[in-house]
Structure formats: structure tokens, C-alpha cells
Amino acid sequence: MRVFGLVALLAPLMLAGCSVHNMVLFFPAGPMAATELHYTYLITGIMMIVIVPTLLMSLWFPIKYHISRQHKEKYTPDWTFSYVIEVLAWGIPLGIVAVLAWLSVHGIQAIDPWNPPLLAKAAPNAPVEEVDVIATDWQWVFIYPAEKLVTIDELTVPAGARVDVKLTSTQNMNGFYIPQVAPMVDAMPAMQTKDTFVISQPGDFTGFSTDFSGAGFSWMRFAVHAVTPADFTAWVQSHQGAAPLDYAAFDAHIAPPQVNYGAKPSYFTLTDPKLFGEVITAAQMGKTYPVSQALNKAVADDDAAPTAGAQ
């Protein structure tokens, strides 16, 4: 038993090599993610009111009522009821559930992606940058209507600006999630959803899909860059003159299933201001993009296989 006890005490040391900086949820980069972390701490702390006493009692009861101590404890064979135990067994759980429910509702309302009251307080005068997002199999397409720019697997936004995101998908539901920045919101075919966030300071982050959507799901990641307003303007200007993109080109070359190994960004000039809406309409009319067996096999057989679209 001493050996097992020693192993239990030393077990946490096995995690010593883990970098806390990989736990990105604990390093929020904006008010939305910071609020999520705040409520996570609150709810976890409240749950400790249940967990800690339960763990302590699971140690104390076996020791206190072990057969070796029976001559020291009071024997009450006719005991049947205790008001104290009833109050503790029912009152505490009910109180905890009520508090957790209030916190959950209050937290969800604070970061409501359609119109978060939190950002109205945290960044009331922030400039607004609008971005339309289309999830394909298996890439992320970002449309900047004001800048007439389209990017694939790269989202660049001005730090300090309020980013209003509209989301849809070509055929599969995908969870749009940037852990350090924004709550997860699903991008769904034939529908429009919305997310809103602010990145307080310049920095680089990673976004990904949280919903399994087939063979290329593991590579469905995108880079997020928060830059100064001046750098954002320079970034937009640097991609002026890129290849034009309208719905026909999107439908033929971008929407069909394909894996972008390494999430290498691509840039286009938006020539169809209704592209986002046309994707929604096409999905509503039943438009789909079947995944070829050849593509499935290529992804399964070789992680480094060249990108290939469905035929």
C-alpha cells in the first residue's frame, strides 16, 4: 500500500513537462473569451462545493466506520430519519442548481453573438469590420465585403475593432471556433448564423472546426491574425489585383471537397458582392458536393497527399 500511495503522490509530476501555454483557453485575447473564462472559473468553483466534500467523505467514512472501530462508535439500530441530513441532501443541491442556472443564463446573455451587451460596454466606440464566412469541405472561406477581398484559411482583422461575422456552410455543419477570441458558433448550410468578437491586442491565433465533417476534418484549421489598423490597410492593399472570384468560380474550384494541407492561405478579389447569399440559396435549393472515393482514400492513405477535389 505504501508503494501505491507514493505513486499517487508523485503522479502529478508526470505533467511537469506540459506547457500551460498550450492550454489556450486560459489565455483569452479579448473580452468575449475573457468572460467565458470568468464564468468557467465561477461555475467550477461552485461545483467544488459538491466535489470536495464528497471526496473527503469518501475517505472519512471508511475510516470512521471500519469494523476495527466498531467498539468506539455509537450503535443506533432504530435510527430512521434526520432533518439535518434531509436539509443538506436536498437544500444544498437545489441551491447550487439555482445558482448555476442563473450564472449560465446571465453569461449566455452577456456574450450573445447577435448583439452582445458585453461589447457595448467593453468596446463601445470600436470600429466595425464585417466578415462573411463560408465553411466548405474542408476549408474556411473569408469574405471582406468592404475591401472586396476573399481569403482561404486566413482571417486577418484589425486589433481593437469589433468583428461582426456572418456564417454559413456549403453542405455540412461546422463549428466556427477561435478559443482565445470568440465563443463557438455553428456554420450551417442553407442558414445564416452570426458571431461577434474583439481582439484586444495584435497577435496570432488558431481557429478550427469543432464538428466532425468527414475525411479532411483534421486539417480544417485557419490562421487568425490581429494587426494594427495601419497594417490591416497595408495587408488589404498587398492583395489587391488577386484573381477574381465570383459564384461560378467558387462553385467550380473552391466549394468541391478538398484538403488544404498545412492550411496554406489563398487570396482572391471579390467580384460578386452577392456570393455569400448565393451560397445560402444554393444550399436551400439542395446543392451538394459529393466526396469522391478517391479523395477519401487519398486522405486515409497519405496525410501528405496533394489536394484533390471531388469529380
- Which pLDDT score is estimated for 106? 87
First-last CA distance in the chain: 63
Give domain status of residue 102, yes or no.
no
Residue located via cell numbers 477561435: 178
Tell me the C-alpha distance between 212 and 138, whole Å: 10
Residue type at position 260: N
Domains held by the chain: number: 1
Give domain status of residue 208, yes or no.
yes
Question: Would you state the cell numbers that stand for residue 6, as one nine-digit string?
Answer: 507514493
Give domain status of residue 182, yes or no.
yes
- Which pLDDT score is estimated for 2? 52
32 alpha carbon, distance to own chain's centre:
12
Instruction: Answer for the pair 273, 150: CB distance below 8 angstroms, yes or no.
Output: no
Phi, psi of 125, deg, nearest 5: -110, 20
- Which pLDDT score is estimated for 311? 33
Q: What is the pLDDT along the chain (311 residues), one digit of tens a residue?
A: 454 445 544 555 555 555 555 677 788 888 888 888 888 899 889 888 888 988 998 998 888 777 776 666 677 778 888 888 888 888 888 999 999 999 888 888 888 888 788 787 777 788 999 999 999 999 999 999 999 999 999 999 999 999 999 999 999 999 999 999 988 999 999 999 999 999 999 999 999 999 888 888 889 999 999 999 999 999 999 999 899 999 999 999 999 999 988 889 999 999 999 999 999 999 999 999 988 887 877 777 655 444 444 33
- Which pLDDT score is estimated for 255? 94
Instruction: Answer for the pair 136, 283: CB distance below 8 angstroms, yes or no.
Output: no
Tell me the C-alpha distance between 52 and 32, whole Å: 30
- Which pLDDT score is estimated for 93? 87
Give domain status of residue 238, yes or no.
yes
Range of the domain at 158: 127-287
- Which pLDDT score is estimated for 309? 42
What pTM was estimated for this model as a whole? 0.80
**CATH at 187:** 2.60.40.420
Give domain status of residue 9, yes or no.
no
Give me the DSSP letters along 164-188: EEEEEESSS-EEEEETTTEEEEEE-
Give domain status of residue 91, yes or no.
no
